[in-house]
Amino acid sequence: MKTGLSILFFWCTLSAFGQFHTAASRSEIGFLIGGSTYLGDLNQFIPFRETHLAGGILYRYNVNPRFSVRANLTYGRVSANDAKSTEVLNQDRNLSFYSDIFELGAGVEFNYFPFQLGHERYKGTAYILAEIAVFRMNPKTMYDGKEVELRPLGTEGQGSSLSSKKHYSLTQISIPLGVGAKLSLGDRVGLNFEIGIRKTFTDYLDDVGSDAYVDPDVLAIENGPLAAELSNRSGSRYGKRGNGATKDWYMFAGAMVTIRLGKYQNCFPGH
């Protein structure tokens, strides 16, 4: 008994904050609202050209004032339209897409300064984020006033004699990397600002991955006339469809309110 009390006393006196941390007091739940955007074959250089409303929820466990682990579920939409491009070649290509993104990620945060909600001294910090995530996509476009899913069509010859490639998967892996800032708004509430870019391992977030168009006549016979029509909307068989040397990226950015799930316990009741 004496040994246990001695250990507790020693732990409390070493604590940087003079309080006993519980699993609940180290845990936060957060709610994100912001925007989502994309970089890829249909938008190579202007990341915020088309930004859509995004949102998500987060769980964060603060291991210590400098280091946290987290998991988050995020939703956003990405899109691009050659008709809005300032480049004539892209306008002539005349492709467009949009896709809802559902992402589940987990990773770590490193705070630049020590940080703790409600602490008088450690009220704010910048941080960096690194995660691994799985996300679900489904590129679509509008044609004759109707929504069309692009993957089943095989617009680059997938599933036909024109290509050895299979239909790409709608479930993919990404590497989220980001920076942010945290601010304590009181004993249990914090405000975060965060921007994160996602490296993907697919070139088909926008359904465009090949440099050149496939033969429209063969594609129409084997995959259907709609596949041929949406594969090449430029009117020229010999134009450039995309950039096969790069993968697609997407981004989330926004503000997040976090709430600590439990209170810190005083090491010595009454203090």
Average pLDDT score over the chain: 90
Confidence of residue 265 (pLDDT cuts 50, 70, 90): low
pLDDT in tens, 31-83: 999 999 999 999 988 888 899 999 999 999 999 999 999 999 999 999 999 99
Interior/surface letters 27-61, b for 16+ CB within 10 angstroms, e for the rest: bbebebebbbbbbbbbbeeebebbbeebbbebbbe
Confidence of residue 266 (pLDDT cuts 50, 70, 90): low
C-beta of residue 203 within 8 angstroms of C-beta of residue 211: no
Q: What is the pLDDT of residue 42?
A: 95
For the cut 80, the answer to whether the pLDDT of residue 11 exceeds it is no
Q: What is the pLDDT of residue 149?
A: 98
pTM score of the predicted model: 0.88
The topology under which CATH files domain 19-146+169-199+249-265 is Porin (2.40.160)
For the cut 50, the answer to whether the pLDDT of residue 268 exceeds it is no
CA distances from 251 to 74, 77, 99, 109, 194 (A): 11, 10, 13, 18, 11
Count other Cβ atoms within 10 Å, centred on residue 222: 17
pLDDT in tens, 69-126: 999 999 999 999 999 888 898 999 999 999 999 999 999 999 999 999 988 889 999 9
Look up tokens 């915020």; give the residue: 48
Q: What is the pLDDT of residue 3?
A: 52
